[in-house]
Amino acid sequence: MILESLIIIIYTIALLLIFMYALAQLNLLFNYLSARKKHKNSPTFDFSKEKEIPFVTIQLPVYNELYVMDRLLNNIAEIDYPKDKLEIQVLDDSTDESFEETAKHIQELQKTGLDIQHVTRENREGFKAGALKEGLKTAKGEYIAIFDADFLPKKNWLKNTIPYFKDPEIGVVQTRWGHLNRDYSILTRVQAFALDAHFTLEQVGRNSKGHFINFNGTAGVWRKECILDAGNWEGDTLTEDLDLSYRAQLKNWKFKFLEEVETPAELPVVISAARSQQFRWNKGGAENFQKMAWRVFKSPDIPFKTKIHSFLHLLNSTMFLNIFIVAILSIPMLYIKNEYEHLKMYFYVMSFFVASTIIFFICYWFTYKVIYGGGFKHFLKYSAMFFTFFSVAMGFSLHNSIAVLEGHFGKKSEFIRTPKFNISNLKESWKGNKYLTKNISPNVIFEGVLMLYFAFGMYSAFVVGDQGGDFGLFPFHLMLFLGFGFVFFSSLKSSH
């Protein structure tokens, strides 16, 4: 009975943590709906008055981006902003043939009168954070706009963001990510679904009530003074953007999130690329929890509710670990439930926690409606997309749990960039991409084993109990089977 008791305790704690997170999401939904009702006045600059127009530096941190550099540079060159008030820094750490091609392209753009510089360094110390810090040493701009290589801001992007800095307390303006290739595959649709929820529900929900949010690493602008005041970029975590965001807000700088300004970007089309991105984001989140959580809690200036939201925000990625624990223990729990009659009441109480899924379903529906619209037809599409997203997210739970544990226990690893493809439709192939790794992670084998494990869970529904089976967990095990199966077979396919 000791083992059974231990399983029940761990399972219950994980369920409670997921439920707490769901309640926080529900609170963010109320904040989000309240914020959308308010009329928003967008500040502007009078571009006929030169004194009113601030100097801006655009930083483009790149590393071996052969497939997207031309697209990026051509797009940035079209930004509508006075040329005498704009500087572009290409922070290039590349070690392949893209370096020479980028240098030639920059020279051509310089001939047009554009102030664009090719900034290089001897090594990749600090990775992206190190490159941004290096560029900042010579940046002429009062404001620093940052774009990753796969982002394509619209021409009026600076005119829509820079005026918000008229408020001297604002240190960062962050825009919402769009998706150039949302409908490329199930994988891209799932990623878009998750990011849309983050950029609508979470960023607006937190920002509207003054809770801490994060600069998302790209498609945003920093006040240079804010970066320096917060201690500059640091490369000791894999999510340098989240780290600097929290340090800046602890210094009482305000952040402004613009849901209405969309910055299109490319989603990873191959699961190996998505895996590397997910690993970096989730490990970095855990690293930042270790680095920042105590600083937030001991700060006397931060309201208690903001501290709670910050705690859960920094624990975002750790939810994958809780999901994985609940998933693994759910099959032993099925047998425990049907073996010990006196525990029936406990399981009736535990069934309440299906409410977590219902809360997520409701929250994400509101964010989906903003982009696609409401109505029964869209609701049916949404329902299918939600359960697809939920299944695939659970299929990533082993991979992401390993990343989270490495982050919490302080295991250091390199900043693995996400390969870019410049692909928007199914007619274009990713197979020739030179940056893709062909190695199969040992984790993939375990994901295949877990697919079979949850097939056993579905089989167990038919054989446990005396009343012809117990199908309460069958839908959960079915989604886990499909999710791990998707991740397993997609990973095998991408290695060929």
Q: Which residues are catalytic?
A: 93, 241
Distance CA 105, CA 202 (A): 38
**Rounded Cα–Cα distance for residues 458 and 433 (Å):** 39
φ/ψ bin of 449: left (φ > 0), alpha (ψ from -120 to 50), beta (otherwise):
alpha
Cβ 350 vs Cβ 15: under 8 Å: yes
Residue carrying the six token digits 């409701």: 362
Neighbours of 445 (CB within 10 A): 13
Nearest by Cα to 102 from 128, 70, 79, 134? 70
Q: What burial letters (b/e) apply to 74-89, b meaning 16+ CB within 10 Å?
A: ebbeebebeeebbbbb
Q: What are phi and psi of 383, to 5 degrees?
A: -60, -45
CB contact at 8 A, 260 and 381: no
Cα distance between residue 491 and residue 473, in whole Å = 27
Residues 6 or more apart from 478 whose CB is under 8 A from it? 454, 458
Q: What is the DSSP letter of 495?
A: T
282, 238 Cβ separation under 8 angstroms: no
